[in-house]
Chain A
Amino acid sequence: MILKPRLEDLKIIGFYLGKIILGLALTMLVPILTGVISKEINPAMDFIIAFQISILLGLLLLKICHTDKDLNWMQGMIVVSLSWIIAMVLSAVPLYLSGHYGSFLDACFETMSGLTTTGLTLVQDLDHLSYTHNLWRHLGPFIGGQGIAVILLSLFVKGTSGALRMYVGEGRDEKLLPNVIHTARFIWLISIVYLVIGTIALGIVGISIGLKPANAFFHGACIFMAGFDTAGFAPQSQNILYYHSLIFEIVTIIIMIIGSLNFNFHYQLWAGNRKETVKNIESRTFFISIMLTFFIVAIGLNQLGVYPQAIALFRKGFFQLISAHTTTGYMTVYSQQFIAEWGSLALVGLICAMALGGCICSTAGGIKMLRVGIVCKAFKEDLKRIIMPEKAVVIEKFHHIKEIFMEDKQVRSVLIITLAYIILYVLGALVGMFYGYPFLESLFESTSAAANVGLSCGITNIAMPAALKVTYIIQMWAGRLEFMSVFTILGFLVAAIKGR
């Protein structure tokens, strides 16, 4: 028998959503301050309005739904799931008011793309967008990448078990420290330290390639936030091609790789355990996967003679491959070139890289390296079972922070998530094909959205059908939350309708 959600459930969900909305409102003070400093009156007004709406909504929810009770698993998952939708809508308000978006749906698409660290964009005339709005576009991935609930945990929650439920609901199943709130704060610490280092590095490179100092550091901060959080937004319409610089591309590659690594790696490195990066199943799988997918891309580009020199092939091919595999989505080629020049094989290489994604417990999307590694190990184990005598006991283990013996239960859960991702990629491609786009292009764009990558072969533009925009929004959301929270909210809706 399905139980109908009680009023108490709704009150608890509403109360925690109110807290998250207030947290989001506080982040809007950053662009307001930027608008005031850079004397951009109307952009600052856009954020003041969005700030007021957020505070209003947050306070109303806190007052109406006030409760002292803690979250249970179901409520925690629903809070996380809904908080992303509400954050998308509230964050879209200032962007829509900027006049750079064709509709409110386009602005929602942009913010969901940012928060989920995807990077697909529907902005118009980006080259004339204010610093204030541009900063917000890049701050979105920085907030969403670390996790919206993680912000709440580090700011408002003081040691409740509900915190763990929200942390897991955001697609993170690993704690770096025994206490989930300390973990959330450590994630912020890592991110802010890297932000300072990355901004300075990119700022210096920016000045050396001819950017004005103020612009160099602004671009540095933006590119770092969207690169480390594997989002792929850039302040100019040409993305990374705008800079015309090999050094800038190299620094960006480093940032993308750092961002796609497990926060546990960063913690181990901070703790002085450097061997972990070599021994860990994720880093090994990541390395092998990059090599294999780059091999496919390189053969594809070479077959068609896309680039006349090996150096150019490596520079363009490797950058795009790393951008795809880390699920960042930075581009040094125009989206039209993917279809017109790159050919099917190179595109398949990129699609594979996007689908596989980065590391677990990072800001990257996709199936993720730990799962890919476990699936490969399980495959190897089954092959051994076939080859070896019936009575032989086959045991596989892998190293991930510690030595772990593989269990069928673990493999099952990994395969379910892997299958869910593959279904999500295919469903998006089917919707694309329904609207008349060719198979490969539809699959490319769908995988890019669902794996939170952001590379585009040209389908994503303001003229695409509204239903396809909504499809990609759902894909970005489901892909980022790794399904559990999404399944829970679907179950909650069914219970609300059919429950007793």
Chain B
Amino acid sequence: MKINFKSALIILFFVVLVYPRESFAQGLSSNELLKNTKQYDGKLITYSGEVIGDVMLRKASKASAPNAWVNINDGENALGVWMDASFAKIINYAGSYKTRGDHLEVTGIFHRACLEHGGDLDIHAQAVRKLTNGSMVQEAANSGKINLSFVLLGVLLMIWILSLFRKK
């Protein structure tokens, strides 16, 4: 029992020392993070949203493995997430006009002014989970717009014909 208690204390000590003092595992919105940057700076947070734009792979340096920048939009703002390139492999769709991007849940350290990235506000991912798959957006031609275009074309032709008569 005594040994177990000691090892529990050691584990607790490391947990307190190594990990950030607070974590916000319940998931935070980008607005909440941006309004309270100082409060969440350096803390473990959970953030989720749609992958947008390009997944930007960055080459490995001597000190680190290959990484990627993934921008995730939660519907209010998009935040940059710096993640191991292996995490980014789960991404199949990134949001654009023709696609709805995958929804990811990222758990990582929030940086108000990241030392590694020239003062950028970012999240360094420690774990990434896909919540929903993205998809291609099927675009159907809007019949209202087509009709309006034909009406305008008709009016233009009418003016042209009238101007021909006027010239004569």
Binding site for B on A (CB under 8 A): 40-43, 45-46, 48-49, 52-53, 55-56, 59-60, 63, 97, 127-131, 209-212, 215, 236-238, 241-244, 246, 306-309, 311-313, 315-316, 332-334, 336-337, 340-341
Contacts and interface: CB of A to CB of B under 8 A. Distances in A.
A49 B145 contact: yes
Nearest to A131: B97
Given A40-B139, A45-B145, A52-B153, A127 B37 contact: no
A66 to B, nearest CB: 11
A242 B68 contact: no
Contacts, number: 129
B121 to A, nearest CB: 6
B120 interface: yes
B97 A128 contact: yes
A311 B119 CA distance: 8
B35 A336 contact: yes
11 contacts: A42-B141, A48-B149, A59-B159, A127-B96, A128-B52, A210-B57, A242-B80, A244-B80, A311-B118, A315-B119, A334-B77
Contacts of B55: 210
B117 interface: yes
Given A209-B56, A211-B54, 13 more contacts: A40-B98, A52-B149, A55-B156, A127-B73, A210-B54, A238-B71, A306-B113, A312-B113, A312-B118, A316-B113, A316-B119, A334-B34, A341-B112
A138 to B, nearest CB: 15
Given A45-B145, A237-B77, A241-B80, A316 B118 contact: yes
B1 interface: no
**Interface SS of chain B: helix, strand, loop or mixed?**
mixed
Contact of A334 (B38, B53, B121): B121
Given A210-B56, A242-B71, A340 B35 contact: yes
B58 A308 contact: no
Interface in B56-96: 56-58, 68-69, 71, 73, 77-78, 80, 82, 95-96
B28 interface: no
Contact of B120 (A131, A211, A311, A332): A332
Contacts of B73: 127, 237
B3 interface: no
B80 A238 contact: yes
Q: Which 6 A-B pairs have the closest CB atoms?
A: A210-B56, A312-B119, A52-B152, A127-B52, A130-B97, A336-B34
Contact of B96 (A128, A237, A246, A315): A128
Contacts of B149: 45, 48-49, 52
A304 B36 CA distance: 16
Contacts of A306: 113
Contacts of A210: 54-58, 68-69
A337 B115 contact: no
A318 to B, nearest CB: 11
B17 interface: no
A236 B115 contact: no
A165 to B, nearest CB: 29
B54 A212 contact: yes
Nearest to A41: B141
B148 interface: yes
A40 B97 CA distance: 9
B4 to A, nearest CB: 41
Contact of B119 (A46, A52, A307): A307
A241 B53 CA distance: 13
B26 interface: no
Contacts of B78: 127, 236-238, 242
A42 B98 CA distance: 12
Contacts of A53: 152
Contacts of B18: none
A332 B152 CA distance: 43
A243 to B, nearest CB: 8
Interface string B140-168: 01100110110011011001000100000
A340 B53 contact: no
Contact of B121 (A52, A59, A211, A337): A337
A327 to B, nearest CB: 23
A332 B115 CA distance: 15
A215 B54 CA distance: 8
A128 B137 CA distance: 11
Contacts of A242: 53, 71, 78, 80
Contact of B97 (A129, A211, A243, A307): A129
Nearest to A237: B78
Contact of A309 (B38, B52, B97, B119): B119
A462 to B, nearest CB: 12
Nearest to A243: B56
Given A45-B141, A52-B156, A210-B69, A333 B121 contact: yes
Nearest to B151: A52
A114 to B, nearest CB: 19
B117 to A, nearest CB: 7
A334 B112 CA distance: 11
Specify which of A53, A59, A127, A211 lies most central, judged by the most chain B CB atoms within 10 Å of its CB: A127
B145 to A, nearest CB: 4
Contacts of B52: 127-128, 236-237
Given A56-B156, A308-B113, A308-B115, A127 B120 contact: no
Nearest to A97: B145
Given A63-B163, A236-B53, A315 B121 contact: no
Contact of B37 (A52, A97, A211, A341): A341
A127 B51 CA distance: 10
B160 to A, nearest CB: 8
